[in-house]
Structure 1
Amino acid sequence: MRIRRLLAAAALAFGLGVLPWAGAAEAGQTFDSMKARGTLNCGVNVGVAGFSLPDSQGVWRGMDADLCRGLAAVMFGDASKVRFVPLTAVQRFTALQSGEIDVLIRQTTLTMTRDTTLGLRMVVANLYDGHGFMVRKDANISDPKGMDGMTICLSPGTTNELVTADWFRANSLRFTPLLQERMQDNATALQAGRCDAIGTDATQLAALRSQFTRPGDFVILPQRFSKEPYGPVVRRDDQEWFDVVRWTVSALIQAEELGVNSRNAEQMRGSPNPDIRRLLGADPLLGNALKLDPAWAYNLIRAIGNYGELFDRTIGPNTPIGLERGLNRLWTDGGLMYSWPMR
């Protein structure tokens, strides 16, 4: 009898859209405190070109830094209302767990164990990457199997440390790890000859090499050894904030799919296309669903552009990083970038 009553109550709650096991974690703690504070606290890397690196004026530049600004534009209508918190790989999850930051946007690979064991939530991929190695050009190595016995610079607490150890073990090869928290320290060590290679994601290798005194002296091997989807990370204390972050990334992709960009967003608000009208707030449906201003995505796109603009400006072919879109092309161009329907 008791079981039947519980099932009946659960069925009624489900029908009403209220889950009986949903507790205070859904209550908007981060969302509400951020709104009251008026500033977004965003965790970023301590310094990687193209992602998050202060310029000569101390202004944070790069894809991750701009995503932080985009979220500030979404929440407050003002992309400047963000406080950047530089974090090493070892510090990043603790800073998020403790509430020091509201969101982590720091070249963080989304993995199952991180999503299920840390009290955190991996949100959505905003960049697809893979583990690789950079070596000296004069080492004449074209295949990682020629790296037997090398000293490899790695950052502790990263998926790259594990991927490197797994790959060398699986191929019965030896290596000596040189572990340093800051990727810039690894770059310095490689140039000084204290390690023979750096193992990390290919985008980071390209970013590091772009800052070298003699970048042509180093080669990024073409082989990739893992799936490394980067994305924002939030705490599990706020489903509302999770939704805002997830749909912010989707809005950037949707904007590129629809041909909406930072230059034409104002004009496109008058479009008769219902998808564009919803995205840009002429129809308030999406803003209401997220408890945001109807113009949330319009403010986002005006601040940092659509996904293609963001990629090309920060790490694309015409930047010092020089990366092609590859897997990060839109799905219509053979890539993996695909926005869920925004309706």
Structure 2
Amino acid sequence: MSLRLGGAVALAAAYVAFTAVPALAGPTLDAVKSKGQLTCGVNTGLPGFSSPDSQGKWTGLDVDICKAVAAVILNDTTKIRYTPLSAQQRLTALQSGEIDLLVRNTTWSLTRDAQGLDFAPPVYYDGQGLMVAKSLGVTSAKQLDGATVCVQPGTTTELNLADWFRAHNLSFKPVVIEALDEVNAAFFAGRCDVLTTDISGLAGVRASVATKPDDFIILPEVMSKEPLAPVVRHGDNQWRDIVSWTIYALIEAEEKGITQANIDAKLKDPDPSVQRLLGVQGDLGTGLGVDKAWAYRAIKAVGNYGEIFERNIGKKTPLKLDRGLNALWTNGGLMYAPPIR
């Protein structure tokens, strides 16, 4: 190959590598556009993540992720049908096509990933915990030998519980109840000594269900890793990309100081990375199958990731959760967006 020809080939390769290629239309995107509505599977009622008020208005961190995706695709956060699903129903509902997107405090695991599901980036890094009444007189999970434990079936929670007790040579008696409100009611009625689920869920239940929240403690042991992430059907790469990059855009917005309130002013920010994110420079939406203002709409609709966190589960909410692992990578957390360019 001549030097001239080699240079031409290299130039062509570079052009292809750095030029956005229009995405092939995917079945889920087409379906959402056709019906003019996003069907989002959510929890039946988990304070801080997804729960309806007395008027049927849904709020929470997971709900805001649904809204961000709807803003990207439909430019309207009201065009969402929230489908409340139990732990046992959720994955079947997604695989059957009943819902377009599952954002329901679902743990990303190898088994689930291999079952015809694809996961977007985690929106909350959690861990499984145990809650007891202070009157039980225990301060560590290692004191729970022989305890009765309320747990939902069909969850990683149920599996982790058995693993942890077995690993520590402890016994327990499971009280298995499918409905979330019923398992919570059973615990507060004294049918079991312990309630177990993700620590964020325990904080939400204690704040919203317990008559006297201060009478209950979450024990210090963290029993597992629980990266909670939105889920899509396997094989629809375009839809997974849209959901994933919507989440990354919310994280990047926090890192760049872009908020729901200042985003219009940020359109004049000279920072090239801000201009690319907001669609002022270039057109990164083409590769996803959306327009160049996709990230602008998501951030304008729900704010950046930090705003979503603080509004729904942060220190000024009943859950009073620290950022912890969910802080930006620049602050010692795990929230990190790949380059948006």
Distance in 1 of aligned mates of 2:188 and 2:163: 25
- The alignment-based identity, stated in percent, is 51
Listed as ranges, the matches of 1:140-219 within 5 Å are 140-211=137-208, 212-219=210-217
- Alignment of 1:286 onto 2:284: yes
- Alignment of 1:29 onto 2:31: no
TM-score of the pair, normalised by structure 1: 0.91
Asked if structure 2 preserves the Cα contact closer than 8 Å seen for 1:280 and 1:298, the reply is: yes
Match of 2:105 among 104, 107, 110: 107
Q: Which residue of 1 aligns with 2:320?
A: 322
Q: Which residue of 2 aligns with 1:258?
A: 256
SS of alignment partner, residue 224 of structure 1: coil
SS of alignment partner, residue 286 of structure 1: coil
Match of 2:219 among 206, 218, 221: 221
Q: 1:172-221 CA distances to partner (integer Å, 9 max, x unpaired)?
A: 21111111122222211111000111111100000000111111111001
Unaligned runs of 5+ residues in structure 2 are 1-12, 17-23
Match of 2:44 among 32, 46, 51: 46
Match of 1:230 among 228, 232, 235: 228
Q: Which residue of 1 aligns with 2:310?
A: 312
Counterpart of 1:128, as a letter, is Y
Distance in 2 of aligned mates of 1:293 and 1:50: 31
Distance 1:282 1:16, change over 3 A: closer
Unaligned runs of 5+ residues in structure 1 are 1-13, 18-25
Counterpart of 1:276, as a letter, is V
Runs of 4+ in 1 over 6 A off after TM superposition: 14-17
Distance in 2 of aligned mates of 1:79 and 1:139: 45
Q: 1:41-96 CA distances to partner (integer Å, 9 max, x unpaired)?
A: 00000001001110121100111111111110011111111110000000000000
Distance 1:96 1:140, change over 3 A: same
Asked if structure 1 preserves the Cα contact closer than 8 Å seen for 2:260 and 2:304, the reply is: yes
Distance in 2 of aligned mates of 1:15 and 1:178: 60
Match of 1:85 among 83, 86, 91: 83
SS of alignment partner, residue 85 of structure 1: strand
Asked if structure 1 preserves the Cα contact closer than 8 Å seen for 2:283 and 2:291, the reply is: no
Counterpart of 1:227, as a letter, is K
Q: Which residue of 2 aligns with 1:124?
A: 121
SS of alignment partner, residue 72 of structure 1: helix
| Count of residue correspondences | 321
More deviation in 280-289 or 192-201?
Answer: 280-289
Asked if structure 2 preserves the Cα contact closer than 8 Å seen for 1:154 and 1:161, the reply is: yes
TM-score of the pair, normalised by structure 2: 0.92
Deviation at 1:15, TM superposition (A): 11
Distance in 1 of aligned mates of 2:27 and 2:282: 24
Counterpart of 1:98, as a letter, is S
Distance 1:16 1:94, change over 3 A: farther
Distance 1:281 1:27, change over 3 A: closer
SS of alignment partner, residue 254 of structure 1: helix
Asked if structure 2 preserves the Cα contact closer than 8 Å seen for 1:316 and 1:322, the reply is: yes
Counterpart of 2:72, as a letter, is V
SS of alignment partner, residue 39 of structure 2: strand
Deviation at 1:283, TM superposition (A): 2.0
Distance in 2 of aligned mates of 1:213 and 1:220: 16
Distance in 2 of aligned mates of 1:99 and 1:224: 35
Asked if structure 1 preserves the Cα contact closer than 8 Å seen for 2:25 and 2:289, the reply is: no
Q: Which residue of 2 aligns with 1:137?
A: 134
